[in-house]
Amino acid sequence: MAVTLASRRTTRRLAADAGLLVLAAAFVLPLAWVVLSSLDPHADLRVKAPDGLTLDNFDAILTPGITFTPLLNSLILCGSATLLTVVCAALAAYPLSRFRSRFNRPFLLTILFATSLPITAIMVPVYALFVRVDLIDTMQGTIFFFAASQLPFAVWLMKNFMDGVPKELEEAAWTDGASSLQSLIRIVLPLMGPGVAVVTVFSFVMMWGNFFVPFMLLLTPDQMPASVSINDFFGNRGMVAYGQLAAFSIVYSTPVILLYVLIARRLGGGFALGGAVKG
């Protein structure tokens, strides 16, 4: 009986390990293809060892027209929109977290519903509106729409993190004469550093990989971000420069990786003074 039970446990463990290996392979194989194909002079859709290591694919894409200008446009668009999103989310989440009102829950449910709307469903009226207010084919118009599209979920995240900061710390600051805005900036936001980091990374990543919005709202080729210009590697009649596409994908992913590395220590931290009012 004991042998049978042990055998079943071993079988279940092996099945779980096999499932995890299959799942890991589903993530690793595309990444392996990108790395190997970027160094392969004869890259194709197969995951294989390069025919010969070369940096010609990187030399071909590292030009202002192909990589540097689109990356700069992406940094301007996503960086500005992320900053605007984080600031507006913090200002919107603060009263929702600190003040009780019968309108809080309906408001939160409304913005939660806004996150479920597909971007394609609202793009036609947005496009018509942008044409009417002369924001079409402008960087600032795309930044505003990026921020507006990410704001509902950012408010939800920011409020949940803000709820974890003890209100007693703010009350002590109010006693010393601080205003609500001062307590938000000097007490709440520093204590919820991990939450601000999560909202920042989430918003930036979602904007960085967005193809449809800038493709619809921007018309001038010189203003196109990297998420749109990557489409140039897909030629006519199914011809694709796989090696250059893989090299561009690596360069395109670098800013997101660097952003995560820079704030990773904030993601792993807790609320530094979360227990300051206890004891």
Structure tokens at 278: 């206890």
Pick the residue with more confidence: 116 or 194?
194
Burial class, 160, CB count within 10 angstroms (exposed 0-12 / middle 13-18 / buried 19+): middle
Task: Answer whether residue 201 is part of any domain.
Answer: yes
Which pLDDT score, from 0 to 100, does residue 208 have? 94
Which pLDDT score, from 0 to 100, does residue 273 have? 41
Residue type at 5 in one-letter notation: L
Each residue's pLDDT tens digit, 23-38: 888 888 888 888 998 8
- Ranking 44-48, 128-132, 226-230 by mean pLDDT, the lowest is 44-48
- Would you say 119 and 237 are in contact if contact means Cβ atoms under 8 Å apart? no
Which pLDDT score, from 0 to 100, does residue 235 have? 65
Element (H, E) at 139: helix 139-162
Q: CA-CA distances (angstroms) from residue 68 to 158, 192, 229?
A: 33, 35, 11
Structure tokens at 86: 């984080």
Residue type at 170 in one-letter notation: E
Task: Answer whether residue 106 is part of any domain.
Answer: yes
Pick the residue with more confidence: 268 or 14?
14
Q: Is the backbone of residue 238 left (phi > 0), alpha (psi -120 to 50) or beta? A: left
Could you tell me the CATH number of the domain that includes residue 122? Answer: 1.10.3720.10
Beta bridge partners of 234: 240
Q: Evaluate if residue 279 carries a pLDDT over 70.
A: no
Task: Answer whether residue 75 is part of any domain.
Answer: no
Task: Answer whether residue 163 is part of any domain.
Answer: yes
Task: Answer whether residue 125 is part of any domain.
Answer: yes
Which pLDDT score, from 0 to 100, does residue 276 have? 41
Helix (H, G, I), strand (E, B) or coil at 219: coil
Task: Answer whether residue 248 is part of any domain.
Answer: no
**Distance from C-alpha of 277 to C-alpha of 265, rounded to nearest angstrom:** 25
**Confidence class of residue 193 from pLDDT cuts 50, 70 and 90?**
confident
**By residue range, what is the domain housing residue 182?**
80-233
Average of per-residue pLDDT across 245-262: 90
DSSP 54: -
How many other CB atoms are found less than 10 A from the CB of residue 249?
A: 21
Task: Answer whether residue 92 is part of any domain.
Answer: yes
Which pLDDT score, from 0 to 100, does residue 118 have? 79
Structure tokens at 171: 């009350």
Which pLDDT score, from 0 to 100, does residue 275 have? 40
Q: Evaluate if residue 16 carries a pLDDT over 50.
A: yes
Each residue's pLDDT tens digit, 164-182: 888 888 778 888 777 888 8
The tally of CA atoms less than 13 A away on the side-chain side of residue 64 is: 2
- Would you say 74 and 59 are in contact if contact means Cβ atoms under 8 Å apart? no
Q: Domains in the chain: how many in total? A: 1
What sign for the dihedral angle of Cα 112, 115, 118, 120?
A: positive
**Distance from C-alpha of 96 to C-alpha of 107, rounded to nearest angstrom:** 9
Average of per-residue pLDDT across 181-197: 85
